[in-house]
Structure 1
Amino acid sequence: MNRFLIAIVLMVTTIAHITITNGQSLPALKLMACEGKAQGTYYIVKYLSADTTSLQGSIDSIFAVIDQSLSLYKPGSAINRFNETGQVQMDEHMKAVVQQALFTYKATGGLFDITVKRLVYLWGFGVTRPSFKGVPPADSIRQALSYTGSRYLRVKENQLYTLKKGVQIDCNGIAQGYTVDVLGAFLASRGIDNYLVDVGGELCAKGHNHQHKVWSVGIERPSPGDTAYEPVQGLVRLPGKGIATSGNYRRFFDQGRTRFAHTIHPLTGVALHNNIISVTVIAKDCFTADAFDNPLILMGVDKGIAFVEQHPEYGLQAMYIYRDVEGTIRENFSKGFKQYMEF
């Protein structure tokens, strides 16, 4: 999934503040930051704490544990064992991700499907690259499609298995959103009430920043030439919410006049090639936002916004950036999205 549309609003100072309650002075809260590389991207964790002991080691350990479960790059990971044998005993992380994936598969009529691994690799967006470049042959797409469908997956207690030999899964379309929330839960367990977690552009936030304001992030949009990015005139506030983005301008290839992005339609087997540049989704948590951003970009602007508004039970809001028939970049929002915008 393309994860780089959301640009964190960087804090340039580490200002401490003191809160006074009933005449008593509480410990000064300082802006702390941990950052690094993980899951094939960057991460930044910012939080306010009276304890200035770094949490870097604990955060890196969380990434390591989740990678051992869900990383296709990690030899011997649980997901790789499943893809090799067709069954695996899931740990808590894999089980949570698979359950959310199966829920989203049903909710979107199959537009979110973790069994797209063969298709992802066929189109050249996997861990290994195919021997050819460009649009795969139609017979190869049909063959990969025959192994695609979460209807082939079964969960029995902690066991995941497939009904069809050769079905493989790729959880990259949801794992980063899950990781964001796990990191947020870790911070909360340490008594931290104010934080912002960003993993490759998927974010969650709670409380406020060191300026006593709700955490905000900026949204980028491609320039007309697709070679630079210019911010939308506003910020998105995240009052205890998660936000995720799917887009077509970071991982793609052009063939003729058509741009094929890394998001694969699990029902047709074809890589995304519509006029949508990105969709940004706000939800109750990043896990949910990340699960629905791919299906929403595949639906298109009108159907996607209709889906959001017809299913309030999912708690989604969406913003689309797209090109109209004349090539002009435009935005469209679900009705509830604008409440988070600061113009």
Structure 2
Amino acid sequence: MYRYLLLLIVWCHTQPVSAQSPAPVKLITCEGKAQGTYYIVKYLATDTTSLQGAVDSIFQVIDQSLSLYRPGSLINQFNATGQVQLDTHMKAVVTKALLTSRATDGLFDITVKPLVDLWGFGVHKRAFTGVPPADSIKKALTYIGYRYLRIKGNQLLATRRGVQIDCNGIAQGYTVDVLGQLLTQRGIRNYLVDVGGELCASGHNARGESWGVGIERPTPGDTNYEPVQGMVRLPGKGIATSGNYRRFFDQGGTRFAHTIHPLTGEALHNHIISVTVMAKDCFTADAFDNPLILMGVEEGLLYIEQHPAYGLEAMYIYKAPDGTVKEACSKGFRQYMVY
């Protein structure tokens, strides 16, 4: 899923981390476009040699595995034949996806691709016709179900003909963490990685503080954005957001967003504008943001409270019945908020 999210990075000016630093520390930036969105990698180092080439190489390798836009990618091979030999990246993502599916009783399901395509949010755009007919949704649902996927060694198999997968709802979070691992392996301890609004951070910024992430609140019309309303610190955490305000269409006074409910076949059309999820890593945060937005505010916050092992915290931004925009947070989320 291509994210158009609510997150803005709060950048700091380059300066030495402390007066005792043995060598001048510089803030280095790598940036570009990949996976249908932007990316920015910022880190502190005494060696000013750019890692741009290494970063771009990671995107190329992961896209060859998981990109629906790249002909011949492993995911496209699976969707064409119902089987594929997995590489390290695809195996990690599919394994995590299946674990999340079981943890959320199927609210997260990468076999949702036929429904994503049917609603017009897929890679191959169809002529817009609005809400799909009920019989078309019913037919597509016969191909949906994570239980139709089986990992056997390093091979992924579909146990039902016609099952296809879409990993866009989790691949960006995975990529963020892989980039973080690259930096760690290069001896870099202070960094922030952002891929389309999905982020992970380690250490501190040039001011010696935990990296700051600003959260925007959309106006009631959902098309314009007010200035940053708050900021959270990201001390060694991952953060991801799912929302209904970028990829959507309106019909009959209802907004239908690109998040698809895999059990009902319906596009998201509740009162939630967004949910921002924090976890131990971006991979986990990205895996759970779609299920949490489908659960809704009350059920989602209860889920977080009842499943502490996943280490989730979340902030919901939603419309109240009177049309005002409000927020609701899990108990642990506020400790990371600065204002």
Is TM (by shorter chain) over 0.5? yes
Report the equivalent of 2:9. 8
178, 189, 193: which is aligned to 1:193? 189
Worse-superposed segment, 301-310 or 128-137: 128-137
Report the equivalent of 1:141. 137
- Residue deviations 1:146-189 (CA, integer Å, cap 9, x gap): 00000100001110001001100000000000000000000000
Report the equivalent of 1:93. 89
Distance 1:230 1:317, change over 3 A: same
Aligned-residue offset at 1:7: 1.1
Aligned-residue offset at 1:10: 2.8
- SS of 1:221's partner is coil
Residues 11 and 212 in structure 2, CA contact (< 8 A), matched pair in contact too: no
Structure 1 position 287 matched with structure 2 position 283: yes
Structure 1 position 117 matched with structure 2 position 113: yes
Residues 236 and 340 in structure 1, CA contact (< 8 A), matched pair in contact too: yes
Report the equivalent of 2:258. 262
CA distance in 1, matches of 2:172, 2:193: 11
Give the residue type in structure 2 aligned to 1:10: W
Report the equivalent of 1:332. 328
Report the equivalent of 2:306. 310
Aligned-residue offset at 1:232: 5.2
- SS of 1:184's partner is helix
Residues 316 and 327 in structure 2, CA contact (< 8 A), matched pair in contact too: yes
Aligned-residue offset at 1:229: 1.1
| Root-mean-square deviation (Å) | 1.1
236, 243, 250: which is aligned to 1:240? 236
Structure 1 segments unaligned to the other structure (5+ residues):
none
Aligned-residue offset at 1:203: 0.2
Structure 1 position 65 matched with structure 2 position 66: no
Worse-superposed segment, 125-134 or 148-157: 125-134
Residues 305 and 334 in structure 1, CA contact (< 8 A), matched pair in contact too: yes
CA distance in 1, matches of 2:83, 2:97: 17
Report the equivalent of 1:299. 295
Give the residue type in structure 2 aligned to 1:4: L
Residues 204 and 211 in structure 2, CA contact (< 8 A), matched pair in contact too: yes
Residues 242 and 287 in structure 1, CA contact (< 8 A), matched pair in contact too: yes
Aligned-residue offset at 1:5: 1.1
- Residue deviations 1:54-108 (CA, integer Å, cap 9, x gap): 1111100000000000000000000000000000000000000000000000000
Size of the aligned set, in residue pairs, is 338
Aligned-residue offset at 1:129: 1.6
Aligned-residue offset at 1:305: 0.2
Aligned-residue offset at 1:228: 1.4
Report the equivalent of 1:163. 159
Residues 124 and 130 in structure 1, CA contact (< 8 A), matched pair in contact too: yes
Residues 18 and 28 in structure 1, CA contact (< 8 A), matched pair in contact too: no
User: Scaled by the length of structure 2, what TM-score is found?
Assistant: 0.98
Residues 253 and 260 in structure 1, CA contact (< 8 A), matched pair in contact too: yes
Residues 27 and 45 in structure 2, CA contact (< 8 A), matched pair in contact too: yes
CA distance in 2, matches of 1:279, 1:8: 17
Give the residue type in structure 2 aligned to 1:265: H
- Residue deviations 1:198-236 (CA, integer Å, cap 9, x gap): 000000000000011100100011112223112453211
Report the equivalent of 1:26. 22
CA distance in 1, matches of 2:227, 2:264: 34
- SS of 1:222's partner is coil
Report the equivalent of 2:223. 227
- SS of 2:327's partner is strand
User: Scaled by the length of structure 1, what TM-score is found?
Assistant: 0.97
- Residue deviations 1:23-54 (CA, integer Å, cap 9, x gap): xx522211000110000000000000010001
Runs of 4+ that moved beyond 6 A:
none
- SS of 2:210's partner is coil
- SS of 1:279's partner is strand
CA distance in 1, matches of 2:323, 2:195: 31
Give the residue type in structure 1 aligned to 2:49: T
- Residue deviations 1:209-267 (CA, integer Å, cap 9, x gap): 00111001000111122231124532111000000000000100000100000000000
CA distance in 2, matches of 1:112, 1:231: 32
Structure 1 position 154 matched with structure 2 position 150: yes
